[in-house]
A and B are shown apart, each in its own frame.
Chain A
């Protein structure tokens, strides 16, 4: 049985939300500390369910589950904050909202709100 995980990226907005939850000590850094992230554990069974529910989902060479809808990733972060945990119960809670996520994912294929950044 392999070990799987999902990456939750942390920008400044998300950092503010996890402050004081005790999760800060689990933050991992990549690319010289320029990228902050949390890794949520995923069991074999949950991995299979995610791959079954979302045809775009895949497992990369590191065991990370990627290419799920953005709505899934947003809910994943919400559940991390709510449960103050990085255990498999987080993904379980996300999957309880699967219908809602799939509905949002359908709209996502037509439109995704762009970030408000300054253009040239």
Chain B
């Protein structure tokens, strides 16, 4: 065997966290006599609009996407993350994750360390939280700033102070003051509604699927967008990295969570990616669209670190990163993510890339620039190899075209993908997420639960 062959990495932390009880009788016994709490969405501290639902974090933790994290974090762990981006067990991790409730709810519940709390979702028992510690967030604004950084503290990559226009900053600013810290366990597995059900590949299942397909090397494509041909070329060309041969598989992992107005609906995003392989533009044997539940924090390099963790846990060997990765606005340097994965960002606790520090990651970054149409080459061309003047593919230009009802040319959006957009446009009466979609989505979520 060639010494250059790359093997599938172990999960981050060495083992996959799986905290899901599938035996209903056992689950009933586990919650007998325990107090319960109906999970509430986190509401924007000023407008009252839902900005996060902690159920998505519980799902991602218990199914192992966030391994080795096992629950809502203790105060010492959050403080360490904010200082060094490390968990108490040393493994690197970018964000505080907490189960937060109001003082009123806390008083009413009357729970404390050692208690087991049943968490209800949509009126049904969903998970348990074994409380180990209760602590308070005294200043959520300070927490939000410490989470993302400031131009003074993180001069390598932060360009503007974070504020209420940044959706991730708003999530931390909107947290309730009482944190119940401890491990989560899902005791009633939610059922995904179509079309999400067929894209649900939690880490154990995705690893088994890679094995079944004979994929030794797999490159991940992060998305929260309907794919245009630029994305398709990015996927196809990035996949040429691999080891002694191009990557066997391309994993598309769409982040499904709270939406912003103007985004494409999640349903169109996942089916749009599926349309790329159904149409044969990337053959299905090499391409797998999947989902992960997470309310995006838009933390650019920090978000890329979480993405690396999720996809390593899913079994990927490579991860593609582009310009403005998981970014919004101009808070970060456009190439902050690539800076992190190429040389590290010391002010965030990374004197070297996350793959080169102790208790770091094994997934390999594949830093990419851009693809756009070259009228001279008469094809999609890579910015770093094509020497001609190219026609940029702007997302807002494409959205404008779609909104006007003009079908984008095949060279920039495949007709199969456009048909998916129109399918969901007809369903929702709108091509993008509007206020109605955002409110309904947070009410209905992506799952339903049966009685326990």
Contact = CB atoms under 8 A, between A and B. Distances in A.
Interface residues of A, number: 30
B406 A112 contact: no
A114 B431 contact: yes
Contacts, number: 84
Nearest to B278: A120
A110 B418 CA distance: 21
A62 B396 contact: no
A67 B400 contact: yes
A58 B395 CA distance: 13
B396 A58 contact: yes
A31 B406 contact: no
Contacts of B209: none
A67 B410 CA distance: 22
A60 B425 contact: no
B392 A32 contact: no
Given A110-B429, A111-B429, A31 B422 contact: no
A108 B399 CA distance: 14
B409 A119 contact: no
Contacts of A117: 407, 418-419, 422
Contact of A119 (B405, B407, B410, B423): B423
Contacts of B397: 7, 60, 64, 66
A34 B434 contact: no
B451 interface: no
Interface in B329-344: none
Contact of B419 (A32, A62, A67, A119): A119
Contact of A35 (B396, B403, B409, B418): B409
A67 B396 contact: yes
Nearest to A73: B404
A52 interface: no
Query: What's the interface size class on B, roughly?
Result: 35 or more
Contact of B405 (A35, A66, A115): A115
Nearest to A6: B400
Nearest to B399: A67
Contacts of A110: 429-430, 434, 436
A1 interface: no
A30 B391 CA distance: 7
Nearest to A11: B406
Interface string A91-113: 00000000000000000011111
Chain B CB within 10 A, most for which of A62, A73, A114? A114
A9 interface: yes
Given A32-B411, A60-B394, A112 B422 contact: no
B430 A112 contact: yes
Nearest to B434: A109
Given A70-B403, A115-B422, A31 B431 contact: no
A56 B262 CA distance: 10
Given A9-B404, A109-B434, A110-B430, A66 B396 contact: yes
Given A60-B397, A62-B392, A119 B404 contact: no
Interface string A34-58: 1100000000000000000000101
Contacts of A66: 394, 396-397, 400
A7 to B, nearest CB: 7
B396 A112 contact: no
Given A9-B401, A31-B391, A119 B422 contact: yes
A31 B373 contact: yes
Nearest first, the 7 closest Cβ-Cβ pairs linking A and B are A34-B409, A115-B405, A114-B425, A31-B411, A66-B396, A111-B429, A9-B406
